[in-house]
Structure 1
């Protein structure tokens, strides 16, 4: 059974949302190791840029795999 576009989007959003939260936590821990100590708002903005890229990638790959299934 093929996954609908809506379910693909829901899966992608969920996956990326969890990834965003994990990325923010990771940045807060890892960035200071490299001498980079951005404010929380900066960490969230950096994470948001990657979130947008990741969401697009995740959705497009899911649709590609569904097309060739």
Structure 2
């Protein structure tokens, strides 16, 4: 069973939202330890830009793997049918 494109997109968005929340807090806590001081608003905007990039990347990778798995399953099914 393969995942639909909409299912892939929804999963990617939910996963990225969770990552956004974790990274938002982590940036506020970790960056000052390295001498970088960032406002909550700048942190949010920076995180939002990276989130858009992350959603696009995750969606493309998921669809690519899904297509490869589908082709592999079809090849295996053909091979099994040929043996019978």
Please give the TM-score of this superposition, normalised by the length of structure 2.
Answer: 0.79
Structure (1/2) with the larger helix percentage = 2
Task: List runs of 5+ in structure 1 lacking aligned partners.
Answer: none
Unaligned runs of 5+ in 2: 70-84
| Aligned-CA RMSD value | 0.6
Counterpart of 1:68 in 2: which secondary structure?
A: helix
How far apart in 1 are the matches of 2:46 and 2:36?
Answer: 13
Displacement of 1:47: 0.7
Aligned-residue offset at 1:36: 1.2
Instruction: Say if 2:59 is the partner of 1:38.
Output: no
Matched, 1:50 2:50: yes
Higher relative contact order at CA 8 Å, sep ≥6: structure 1 or structure 2?
A: 1
Q: Deviations over 1:7-63 (max 9, x none)?
A: 000000001000000110110011101111111000001111110111111100110
| Distance across 2 between alignment mates of 1:44 and 1:14 | 17
Displacement over 2 Å in runs of 4+: none
> How many residues are aligned here?
69
